[in-house]
Chain A
Amino acid sequence: MKRLIPLLAGMAFLLSACGRDDLSTLKPQGPVAEEQFNLMKLSISIMTLVVVVVFAICIYVLIRFRRRKGDNTIPKQVEGNHKLEIIWTVIPLILLLILGVPTINTVFGLSKDYSKDKDALQVKVTAHQYWWEFEYPEYGIVTAQELVVPTGKKVSFELASADVKHSFWIPSIGGKMDTNTGVTNRMYLEFPKEGIFRGKCAELCGPSHSLMDFKAKAVDQASFDRWVAAMKSPAVVPEDAKIKEAFESKCLSCHAVGETNSGASAPNLTGVGSRETIGGILYNDEKPIEDNLKEWITDPQSVKPGATMPSAKDVGLTDEELDGISKYLANYKIDY
């Protein structure tokens, strides 16, 4: 049948690529995504069964009962059949029961609150148009765009938004949770494997919704402790006095490094040199980080339309200052 061709084509795509390990929901990298994937597999199997039965009956009927040329007989007018009707009411109910029980189980399981758990890491996520802020209240650390978590610990998130509604989603680690305004949500995730996982915003939040990516970096406990210590150590400032002056007056009015400017309205830049990306989408392994920084600072709007950061021209950065600040930030790395 012709209608099977796109189906087969789709299946072929599916087999040829299940997506990236760090992005696909079909390659779960943590127990939460694993549990959700199991439910997906269960529901897909049941649904495939249903689809196959319907397609089989449909194809059989269309071939067997098509009108032959010159056939003018009137088929028997059947009103219905109680036995059949009961069968196709009861079987779906049973199938739904099979699906419903684990659903309820998992709904409650995944909603466990670890916010009071001493062994869990607490992270406050605040979504902004178009970047993510991660605060570690236990350690007094704020970072942006790159969530760093230890493997082997549950991570309890408290989610909210600073402006419009966004949705926090790390597909390979677990399903999403919206960040609302006015109310906070909670969820937990686990990162048993070390690695860098891609996170996305899943709720339309403005022009750059599609570019509001972030990374979740899972490291072992020792590295995590080193990272915390480095984040808490005094901020590194530009060596050149002129660049330092420009950076402090033109960047730190919104941004922050280290303890400086704790009420910052823009991403915290501590250790920005060791992040995977600039602005969440300019990959530092595709282009040198300094170039990415320059591209971003020169005109953030051209990278992320609607971004609230002013361009270099608007804040009056000279070329020299732009080069100096980009170089400083590119080299502002932390070891962990």
Chain B
Amino acid sequence: MAAHAHKVKRYRGLMDWLTTVDHKKIGILYLMAGGLFFLVGGLEAVMIRIQLIKPMNDFVGADTFNELITMHGTTMIFLAAMPLLFALMNAVIPLQIGARDVAFPFLNSLGFWTFFFGGVLLNISWFAGNVPDAGWTSYVPLAGPTYNSGHGVDYYVLGLQIAGIGTLLGGINFMATIINMRAPGMSFMRMPMFTWTIFITSALIVFAFPVLTVGLVALMFDRLFQANFFETANGGSSVLWEHVFWVFGHPEVYILILPAFGIISEVVSTFARKRLFGYSSMVFATVLIAFLGFMVWAHHMFTTGLGPVANGLFSIATMLIAVPTGVKIFNWLFTLWGGSICFTAASLFAIGFIPTFVMGGVTGVMLAVAPADYQYHDSYFVVAHFHYVIVGGLVFGIFSGLHYWWPKMFGRMLNEGLGKLTFWTFFIGFHLTFFVQHFLGLLGMPRRVWTYLPNQDFDTMNLVSTIGAFLMGVGTICFLINVVVTSAKARNAKADAWEDGRSLEWTIPSPPPEYNFKQLPLVRGYDAWWKEKMEGKSAMTPAEPPGPIHMPSPSILPFIMSVGLFIAGFGFMYDKLYLAIGGIAVTLICMFFRSVFDDHGFHIEEDEQEKGVHA
């Protein structure tokens, strides 16, 4: 056993969480961090709605309001929605494809910590008294140095660059994982739908995030070093920023929603006890949506003045996305058709998703009609639309996924009663909040207004909207109570927790041991586990003999590297050169150590493999 004699490194307590490279623990870290930022963003949303509860309200001032909307949007998109998706990706993807970990466990940890410190940097702005206030889109010149001379937008620019590194690393990692680490027999067309959507999402991240980074770097140069990328007075172009932002920003929308499509596909087919209807057309639709997603960015700019040819082309291209999306909707409906539908909290969120997302989708097609968009654009109609797709789509998807995979992640079933309460309060609150906003927009209420004059017929609907927002808050609190209550219960979830599981994650204990699969499974078809169950088997056929399992070593380096970037961020912002250099140096030194000293990981011997395995 000499070949396996590397030292086994293990840490306990806090140190274990700071150094872990285990995808399951990183998933939990993403869940906690993303959940925290979700609460922060939610609180900001509630404050926005309180301010708008009546005309000429003075709950917060104009400046604070602009800070709130900017931070609400930025936090929810980059620091809540994406990390929560990464939480599910990390928790589920390696299990679904029958792998022991992701392709690059060290990178996985680095991705989490850069995201986390980027997010913390962004939110420290509240305490520094310089909060970004140019909207989550940060259009120049409003976000440029001339009209935004404080450090607010610097926090946005630097925080998102650091957090963006994490997202990009995650995208690369999951692409590599899904391409290389599938269990024997799992061809691409046997992958579960969630794995497919994460694969495509990762590709989108890899192509779209560098664009954002380039834009942010250019804006940073404008702000910190007096460059003129976007300064029209010196020959720059402010419309260029809009293009750069939306070339990233539109694919970002699909980065968010495709994983939700994947979750819904899994949940719907599990709780209907039926194979996903039209699997191959679902895969094709996903790829097509992703491809078209890169072709439509200028529909965010119909009123920028690009001219009729551009507006016409982008109108049609945008409408086309409705076709593959429609295919998905009908495939879900026909997965349910003829099934045996069981209503759990997870399936309620998935079922609630379908009509809600359709409503968000059809308003999307309405927005694609450029001349009509001249009326909708930057009005509350748009606010209603994107909350229907992001909350009604993505957040419902995340809630569904969390209820569904919670037993797999933690070994405990969430309380069904509280889960259903969460669903109904959140669902009703959501529609109450956002349905009326369509009409507010049509009646002439622009978005991002910190107050509005009376006598414009806006009052009642704004009141309704605010009441809805409180109800959504109640829903979220129900979920939190559920988490607390559940964490006190016994860890007794079965391997196949819902009994109708179809994919590989349901073949291993809940929660899985650190090496996931004692023996890698042999995949004999789509819905690998369902297929075995239907043939009367109680376990997967192993594809390899039992033996020692190779594991990656934990490492504190990703944490320190991210702290270095975090410090450097402050250095750049406040013109402290020594901090900037010092911070970057910390990161580079860590990279040096990582490159020079090989770490071969360790092995878990056969006799140790049963230790610490539950159920």
- A residues neighboring B (CB under 8 Å): 2-3, 5-7, 9-10, 13-14, 17-20, 23-26, 33, 35-37, 39-40, 43-44, 47, 50-51, 54-55, 57-58, 61-62, 65-67, 71, 73-81, 84-85, 88-89, 92-93, 96, 99-100, 103-104, 106-108, 110-111, 129, 159, 163-165, 167, 169, 171-172, 174-178, 180-183, 185-186, 198, 200-211, 213, 281, 305-306
Contacts and interface: CB of A to CB of B under 8 A. Distances in A.
Interface stretch (B214-222, B249-257, B268-276, B538-546): B268-276
B378 to A, nearest CB: 4
19 contacts: A6-B432, A9-B432, A14-B439, A20-B455, A33-B375, A36-B372, A40-B442, A73-B340, A84-B330, A84-B334, A96-B319, A96-B323, A100-B315, A110-B374, A164-B139, A172-B444, A183-B305, A186-B305, A204-B135
Most chain B Cβ neighbours within 10 Å, of A33, A43, A55, A172: A43
A10 B356 CA distance: 15
B362 A110 contact: no
Contact of A85 (B303, B327, B442): B327
A202 B307 CA distance: 19
Given A85-B327, A167-B303, A202-B379, A180 B443 contact: no
A61 B336 contact: yes
B431 A6 contact: yes
B141 A181 contact: yes
Given A78-B275, A100-B319, 11 more contacts: A2-B428, A19-B456, A23-B457, A37-B375, A43-B366, A43-B369, A58-B354, A65-B341, A80-B331, A93-B323, A206-B66
B312 A103 contact: yes
A47 B238 contact: no
A20 B275 contact: no
Contacts of A208: 62
Contact of A39 (B61, B338, B372): B372
A234 to B, nearest CB: 36
Contacts of A76: 274, 338
B292 interface: no
A204 B134 contact: yes
A-B pairs, top 4 by smallest CB distance, nearest first, are A175-B374, A182-B232, A210-B449, A19-B443
Contact of B444 (A3, A111, A181, A198): A198
A78 B452 contact: no
B442 A80 contact: no
Given A84-B330, A180-B238, A78 B435 contact: no
B304 A180 contact: yes
Contact of A62 (B327, B334, B341, B378): B341
Interface residues of chain A: helix, strand, loop or mixed (majority): mixed
A315 B343 CA distance: 69
A103 B371 CA distance: 7
A80 B274 contact: no
Interface residues of chain B: helix, strand, loop or mixed (majority): helix
A73 B272 CA distance: 11
B370 interface: yes
B355 A88 contact: no
Contact of A66 (B323, B341, B377, B443): B341
A108 B310 CA distance: 11
Contacts of A50: 326, 358, 362
Nearest to B271: A67
Contact of B365 (A3, A37, A99, A107): A99
A185 B334 contact: no
B225 interface: no
A107 B329 contact: no
Nearest to B70: A204
B431 A92 contact: no
B428 A6 contact: yes
Most chain A Cβ neighbours within 10 Å, of B61, B377, B455: B377
Contacts of A171: 375, 444
A43 B279 contact: no
Nearest to A111: B308
A44 B374 contact: no
B460 interface: yes
A15 to B, nearest CB: 11
Most chain B Cβ neighbours within 10 Å, of A61, A85, A107: A107
Nearest to B275: A77
Contacts of B436: 9-10, 13
B322 interface: yes
Nearest to B533: A74
A94 to B, nearest CB: 11
Contacts of A40: 366, 369, 372, 375, 442
A281 to B, nearest CB: 6
Most chain B Cβ neighbours within 10 Å, of A47, A77, A99: A77
A208 B338 CA distance: 56
B315 A175 contact: no
Nearest to B374: A175
Contacts of A47: 362-363, 365-366
B592 interface: no
A71 B439 CA distance: 45
Interface string B295-320: 00000000111011001100110011
Contacts of B62: 207-208, 210, 305-306
B395 interface: no
Given A47-B366, A176-B378, A182-B232, A108 B308 contact: yes
A25 B312 contact: no
Given A67-B342, A80-B279, A104-B312, A205 B142 contact: yes
B428 A5 contact: yes
Contact of B374 (A13, A36, A183): A36
B593 interface: no
B316 A100 contact: yes
A84 B281 CA distance: 12
Contact of B272 (A19, A75, A129, A183): A75
Most chain B Cβ neighbours within 10 Å, of A5, A19, A183: A19
A292 to B, nearest CB: 14
B209 interface: no
Contact of A89 (B305, B323, B443): B323
B327 A54 contact: no
A288 B176 CA distance: 71
Contact of A182 (B237, B368, B451): B237
B604 interface: no
A176 B377 contact: yes
A175 B142 contact: no
A298 B336 CA distance: 66
B330 A13 contact: no
Interface in B62-83: 62-63, 66
Most chain B Cβ neighbours within 10 Å, of A50, A55, A185: A50
A121 to B, nearest CB: 20
A103 B302 CA distance: 13
Contacts of A108: 308, 312
A119 to B, nearest CB: 22
B139 A203 contact: yes
B139 A204 contact: yes
A26 B371 contact: no
B431 A111 contact: no
B448 A204 contact: yes
A315 to B, nearest CB: 23
Most chain B Cβ neighbours within 10 Å, of A2, A75, A208: A75
Contacts of A3: 352, 355, 427-428, 431
Contact of A210 (B307, B323, B352, B446): B446
B280 interface: yes
B424 interface: yes
Nearest to A185: B305
B277 A80 contact: yes
Interface string B379-399: 100000000000000000000
B337 interface: yes
Contacts of B327: 85, 88-89
A92 B322 contact: yes
Given A85-B281, A164-B142, A181-B232, A6 B340 contact: no
Contacts of B342: 67
